[in-house]
Amino acid sequence: MVKSVTNSGGVSPIGYVSVQPLVNSLDGNGNSLPHGIIYNVPYLRLQGGSNAVIIDPQVGDIGIGTVCDRDISNVKTNQAAAAPASLRKNDMSDMVYLMTIIGATPTQYIQFNTSGITVTSPSTVTINASSIQLNASSGCTINAPSIMLNGAVNQGSGSYGGNSNFAGSMTVTGDVTANGTSLHTHKHSGVTVGGGNTGTPI
């Protein structure tokens, strides 16, 4: 069981955990003897170079680890090839925490099943990138009580075009141009001030 973690989900190097082995030892008389806490245990992260999936262990996680056959203290310190720091072998002090194997139902997750992929979070989902491209072969639906778009919006560029339909009213603080004609400044011909109905815009 994880008793402490140096990281808490932030963007940082892989950290360490303190763990409590849960399967007790037995003495010659069959008495159960609990293990002590093992400190400074590195844990597994899905990472290659500077690319990573950051899911740090949390206190209370019950997981599985592996014990290295030699003392890995110098390797942990130097993060490079090094001689064993002692002559100990197959010692729990040289454990690496691999993953959680017993846990509660998650509330934040990426789910893969036969229906597709679902991303669920009870809070904010943030995507940071220099540019984002979303490709959908049949359609794209955004369901939200309020949608905020910060930045210029272009519709119909590329291989997809079509009309735009709005079920509610539209408020525009600037001008609206339709087929080259300004809604705010266009004039109607043949109309005198103070009388008569206007025709279609020109």
Q: Which residue has the higher pLDDT, 101 or 182?
A: 101
Mean pLDDT estimate for the chain: 90
The answer to whether the beta carbons of residues 64 and 101 sit under 8 Å apart is yes
User: What count of residues does the chain have?
Assistant: 202
158-169 pLDDT, tens digit each: 677 788 888 999
**Which pLDDT score is estimated for 24?**
94
Segment 140-167 shows an average pLDDT of 86
Q: Is 116 exposed, middle or buried (0-12, 13-18, 19+ CB in 10 A)?
A: exposed
**Which pLDDT score is estimated for 199?**
60
What are the Cα distances from residue 126, in Å, to 46, 121, 179? 20, 11, 37
With a pLDDT cut of 90, the percent of the chain lying above it is: 70
Q: Which two tokens stand for residue 186?
A: 């266009």
3-55 pLDDT, tens digit each: 999 999 999 999 999 999 999 999 999 999 999 999 999 999 999 999 999 99
Segment 117-137 shows an average pLDDT of 94
83-121 pLDDT, tens digit each: 999 999 999 999 999 999 998 999 999 999 999 999 999
Above 80 in pLDDT, residue 69?
Answer: yes
**Which pLDDT score is estimated for 137?**
87
Provide the 10 A C-beta neighbour count for residue 70: 16
